[in-house]
Amino acid sequence: MKTIQLKDILAISGKGGLFKFIAQARNGIVVESLEDNKRHVAPATARVSSLVDIAIFTIDEEVPLADIFFMIYEKAEGKDTLSHKAPVEELKNYFKELVPEYDEDRVYVSDIKKVFQWYNQLKQHELLEVIEKEEKEEDSKEEASEKPEKDKVGAK
């Protein structure tokens, strides 16, 4: 199965748009805005989410955002999709076509708008790289094995 590569793409709570991870800083992380290519330091206190870690609730499970983006990519034939400013019913209907089993009680309209907004922003900046899902999982395993093990606090 295929998916979309979302490595190093971040969302920061309270800041619009998406950011690319650049480097670790002493007091946070250095990020670059996809909107204006300006670099900022996101403080350690900021709520930063990697798009890799975001998933959409369905009735049975959680579907990774990368898989949702791939569904949109296929339906839109690799082009831009519906604008996040489209009427609410249109957004909900389109999303329901993509993910018929999404949990309507836990996935809000604001979440659906973000999915479409982020997809179009990634598309605009040519950051929608289609990869094989197995390849992605192997990369994750390699990265995990390369990371030093964290110190265990409070272990005796």
**Residue ranges per structural domain of the chain:** 2-131
Q: In the prediction, which pLDDT does 61 show? A: 93
Task: Quickly count: other Cβ atoms within 10 Å of residue 14's Cβ.
Answer: 6
Could you read off the pLDDT of 54-76 as tens digits, one per residue? 999 999 999 999 999 999 999 99
Q: In the prediction, which pLDDT does 28 show? A: 92
Q: In the prediction, which pLDDT does 145 show? A: 44
Would you say domain 2-131 falls under CATH 1.10.10.1650? yes
Query: Can you read off the two tokens belonging to residue 128?
Result: 């929608």
The Cα 61–Cα 70 span in angstroms is 17
Look at residues 54, 47, 88, 85 and name the one whose alpha carbon lies nearest to residue 69. 54
Count of residues for the chain? 156
Q: What's the average pLDDT block by block, 10 residues per block, for the chain (156 residues)?
A: 88 91 93 93 92 94 94 91 94 94 94 95 90 60 44 39
